[in-house]
């Protein structure tokens, strides 16, 4: 049962075990060689000139897994993607990180990688939106853009020779994230897809699924660049009471953020792949059974989500037949 640390009653334990066993059987039927453990043989066609990748070795003429994980095949390359490992970035990945240091012409971000990522001042849009060379004044005003502990969304640009990661934020969809919650899950739960930015219109929520396992749930904003404030302008203008009221997040919005965030936490605890559709289904389930926000993290709701997911996958499997 994936070592779930939940205070389950005897009945709940049996229900959860049945649901997880059903999910496991459905997964095995869908792809028998998808998941492997150490010393498992990986079925391959030796007539093709295959390439042995990470997590595989040749033993007595068979291709054997050396780590626990999922078998991935890219053309002739066969490798095993380890589960519960640190994030392994790829160019083009959408990531969410937290600023840990502001240094000369760059910010350092924690993105669940072995090294801190670097976001150069020249690799992002300036507050005025004009494409121009960065000046000494821009460097002095860097803390007016991002400062320590700010949550930032960016894209993986490239790798440096020392193995460090360089990011870029040259689009309005990237930038500082405010008025929300930052959730940390295992990176393998967030699959690469065409869309990692989601606007949940019925809740007025922005959902950013970072490939590094950092997930942002926050209040919707029309343009992210408007959240980047020039320090020079902000220091000259004092905030009036009316502007302070505009920054207040309504109670209903905070409840929506907490409900969606708890749905992500439940899916992460159960080890389900996290995407926008599954999150919305979990939120709808909590509303249907009339479970309060704080009760979503209880044992009963975990069991209900597991049973619902087993039933959904079973129906999908029957339709394919």
pLDDT in tens, 24-65: 787 665 554 577 888 888 888 776 778 888 889 988 888 899
pLDDT band per the 50, 70, 90 thresholds, residue 248: confident
Tokens of 41: 């043989």
Query: Nearest 5°: phi and psi at 171?
Result: -140, 160
Q: Taking 60 as the threshold, does the pLDDT of residue 243 lie above it?
A: no
Least confident of 71-80, 235-244, 294-303: 235-244
Report DSSP letters for 18-61, one per residue: HHHHHHHHHHHHH-TTSEE-TTPBPP--TTS--EE-TTEEEETT
- Cβ burial of 201 (10 Å; 0-12, 13-18, 19+) is exposed
pLDDT in tens, 3-28: 567 888 899 899 999 998 888 787 66
For the chain, what are the domain ranges? 31-82, 94-243, 254-320
Mean pLDDT of the chain, nearest integer? 84
| Whole-angstrom Cα Rg for the chain | 23
pLDDT at residue 154, as a whole number: 94
Region 313-321 average pLDDT: 75
31-82 and 94-243: identical CATH topology: yes
* pTM of the predicted structure, to 2 decimals: 0.81
Region 291-304 average pLDDT: 93
Region 125-151 average pLDDT: 81
Give just the sign of the alpha carbon dihedral 176, 231, 118, 136. Answer: positive
What CATH number has the domain spanning 94-243?
2.40.50.140
Fold of 31-82: OB fold (Dihydrolipoamide Acetyltransferase, E2P) (2.40.50)
Q: What is the spatial distance between Cα 321 and Cα 232, in angstroms, rounded to a whole number?
A: 64
Are 97 and 182 contacting, i.e. CB atoms less than 8 angstroms apart?
no
Q: What is the spatial distance between Cα 205 and Cα 158, in angstroms, rounded to a whole number?
A: 30
């Amino acid at each position: 049962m994936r070592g779930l640390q939940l205070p389950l009653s005897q009945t709940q334990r049996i229900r959860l075990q049945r649901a997880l066993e059903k999910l496991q059987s459905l997964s095995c039927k869908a792809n028998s060689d998808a998941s492997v453990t150490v010393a498992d043989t990986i079925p391959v066609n030796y007539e093709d000139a295959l390439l042995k990748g990470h997590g595989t070795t040749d033993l007595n003429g068979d291709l054997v897994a050396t780590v626990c994980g999922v078998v991935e095949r890219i053309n002739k390359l066969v490798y095993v993607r380890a589960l519960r490992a640190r994030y392994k970035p790829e160019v083009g990945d959408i990531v969410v990180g937290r600023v840990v240091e502001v240094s000369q012409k760059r910010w350092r971000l924690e993105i669940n990688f072995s090294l801190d990522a670097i976001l150069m001042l020249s690799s992002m849009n300036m507050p005025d939106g004009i494409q121009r060379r960065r000046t000494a004044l821009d460097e002095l005003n860097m803390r007016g853009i991002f400062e320590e502990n700010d949550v930032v969304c960016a894209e993986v640009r490239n790798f440096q020779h020392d193995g460090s990661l360089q990011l870029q934020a040259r689009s309005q969809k990237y930038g500082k994230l405010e008025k929300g919650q930052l959730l940390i899950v295992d990176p393998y739960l967030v699959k690469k897809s065409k869309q990692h930015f989601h606007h949940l219109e019925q809740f007025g929520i922005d959902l950013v699924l970072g490939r590094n396992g950092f997930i942002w749930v926050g209040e919707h904003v029309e343009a992210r660049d408007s959240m980047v404030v020039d320090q020079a302008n902000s220091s000259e203008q004092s905030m009036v009471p009316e502007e302070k009221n505009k920054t207040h997040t309504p109670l209903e919005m905070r409840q929506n953020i907490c409900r969606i965030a708890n749905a992500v936490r439940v899916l992460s605890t159960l080890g389900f792949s996290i995407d926008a559709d599954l999150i919305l289904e979990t939120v709808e389930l909590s509303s249907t059974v009339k479970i309060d926000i704080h009760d979503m993290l209880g044992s009963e709701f975990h069991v209900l989500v597991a049973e619902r997911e087993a039933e959904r996958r079973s129906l999908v499997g029957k339709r394919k037949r």
